[in-house]
Amino acid sequence: MKIYTLNPPYLAHFGRGMRWQDTARGGTLYYPIWLAYAVGVLEQAGFETRLVDAPAWNWDRKQVMEDIKRFEPDLIIMDSSFPSLSNDISVGEEIKKNCPHIKIVLVGPPASQFPDRILQSQGIDIVARWEYDLTVREIARALEGRKPLQEIKGISYKEKEEIIHNPTREFTASEDLDKIPFVSKVYKGHLNVRDYFLGNSLYPEVQVFTGRGCPFQCTFCSWPQTLMGRKYRVRSIANVLDEMEWIQQNLPQVKEVFLEDDTFTIDRKRVISFTEEYDRKGLDIVWACNARADLDYDTMRKMKKTNCRLLIVGFESGSDEILQNIKKGITVEDIKQFARDAKRAGLLVLGDFIIGLPGETKETIAMTRRLIKEVTPDILQVSVASPFPGTEFYLWAKTNGYLITDDPNEYLDEQGHQKSVVSYPWLSAQEIVETVDDILKKYYLSPRYIPIALRQVFRKDGWDEAQRIWIGARAFIKYVKLR
């Protein structure tokens, strides 16, 4: 059986794998990371598999159709996201029209929330709900052996025009994760690492998971509530470091490995073990990760000594009331202490803030502006609060009548940038978007940003830092001109 895994065409440079899916203002484009893990599992099972990333390659539907006809697959696994769902279903329908014999499986966060809606289309045969890499392997084996689908957990499908929902599949366990092939090998075999860019990482980089799931209760975060679940499970340290060693030896052009776990620093003992084993293994590749604002200085110092370069941290707001509303589990004082400790440890910080969360007012926005000025993150990211279906934030906004639309396909503007789909009587959707743009422009286009940028350029790997800043700056200036 031949399997075609597709990140379907939509807007140019659209990132389905991002937590806030859009065409990023700073030029960021994620790997199709979940599809790539599925490809690794399928190839390990002996299936001939092709991975196509249409947004990264600037392919349109015609090019995809031509490529499908050349490859002649029996099965297509197609990724999706909330803002692109209608487009993705339409792509499936177009494929079906041209190749009716091919079975099409849709995966991604919308699959767990809208299986009935998806299967009402004429383009999708099966929906793999939630975490799906092991599920699609079972689907492929069943179809190849002409076996019924009813024993496969975690799927919904059509049978004689009836939609059937099989029981939910249990999430992977830690021992399962060590058996999954290195995603970096999939990148090398199917993709060009230079097609991808993280505004916070040295270029080129690769993204890998060392664990899945997040036990924290942030109400707005989509992945734990629609894809990976709250259950936290991890690869062994040895397995992770073996992959980093493989990257160092086989992808020598890669300047940084980004550990894409929602929160790599959940278990500090594991983080410290990681740094100790990294040191013993004699690695020198640069790495970075997502962290939480309760991380202590001693752990940061150990991370820095073993080539950790940067921490991405969700600060979210300068208001303790909002942090409580979203169940963040940290305080503004925690944020300030984290920023001081990271600077003392010599780590760069990407501070992530969100405008429009529950409780947001003009006064809380002013508090966030003051906090940004005080902590001065090396990289600032500010997002529009997007209540994705399936999240507690979505339910709250809908229940209280703050949603402008409950159609996630309307979450982006014509250029593929975030719109606000929440509007409060005291703070309009337009004011939320204008605030995000204003904060970013005043931070990056101000003379005050020059010393912040220079401090990064004069660090180790300064030329690579300068290249990263330049790529991001060009994309951001283009975004500003569009607005």
Of all residues in the chain, what percent carry a pLDDT higher than 70? 100
Predicted local distance difference test score (pLDDT) of residue 19: 81
Render pLDDT for 99-147 as a digit per residue (tens, 0 to 9).
Answer: 999 999 999 999 999 999 999 999 999 999 999 999 999 999 999 999 9
Please state, in angstroms and rounded to a whole number, the distance separating the CA atoms of residues 35 and 5: 7
> What pLDDT is recorded for position 27?
86
How do residues 272-287 score in pLDDT, each as one tens digit? 999 999 999 999 999 9
pLDDT tens for each residue of 7-43 = 999 988 898 988 877 777 788 999 999 999 999 999 9
As given in the structure block, the two tokens for residue 206 are 């690769």
**Model pLDDT for residues 69-105, shown as the tens digit of each residue:** 999 999 999 999 999 999 999 999 999 999 999 999 9
* Domain layout of the chain by residue ranges: 2-130+132-165, 174-482
At residue 445, does pLDDT exceed 80?
A: yes
Spell out the residues 6+ positions from residue 258 whose beta carbon is closer than 8 angstroms to its own: 198, 200, 201, 205, 206, 207, 208, 287, 288, 289
Would the CATH topology of 2-130+132-165 be identical to that of 174-482?
A: no
Predicted confidence at residue 417, as pLDDT, reads: 86
Q: Which residues pair with 207 in a beta bridge?
A: 258
Q: If you average pLDDT over residues 291-304, what whole number do you get?
A: 98
Mean pLDDT of 468-477: 90
| Vertex 312 angle, CA 7 and 334, to 5° | 145
- Within 369-467, strands assigned E span 379-384
- Average the pLDDT over 219-245 and give the result: 96
User: Is the per-residue pLDDT at 176 higher than 90?
Assistant: yes
Whether residue 483 is predicted with pLDDT greater than 80 in this model: the reply is no
Identify the architecture of domain 2-130+132-165 in CATH.
3-Layer(aba) Sandwich (3.40)
- Cβ neighbours of residue 4 closer than 8 Å, sequence gap 6 or more: 49, 50, 52, 68, 71, 73, 75, 76, 77
Among the listed ranges 186-200, 244-258, 407-421, which one has the minimum average pLDDT value? Answer: 407-421
Over residues 141-166, the pLDDT tens digits come to: 999 999 999 999 999 999 888 999 99
Give yes or no for residue 255 having a pLDDT over 80: yes
Task: Please check whether the domain covering 174-482 is classified as CATH 3.40.640.10.
Answer: no
Q: How far apart are CA 408 and CA 402, in angstroms?
A: 14
pLDDT of residue 21: 75
Q: Are 183 and 33 in contact (CB under 8 A)?
A: yes
- Mean of pLDDT values over 54-74: 97
Q: Mean of the pLDDT values across residues 420-437?
A: 96
H helices of 17-60, in order, are 33-44, 54-57
This prediction has a pTM of: 0.96
Strands, sheet with 48-53, edge to edge from the N-terminal-most edge strand: 48-53, 2-7, 75-78, 103-106, 126-128, 155-159, 162-165
Q: What is the mean pLDDT of the chain?
A: 95
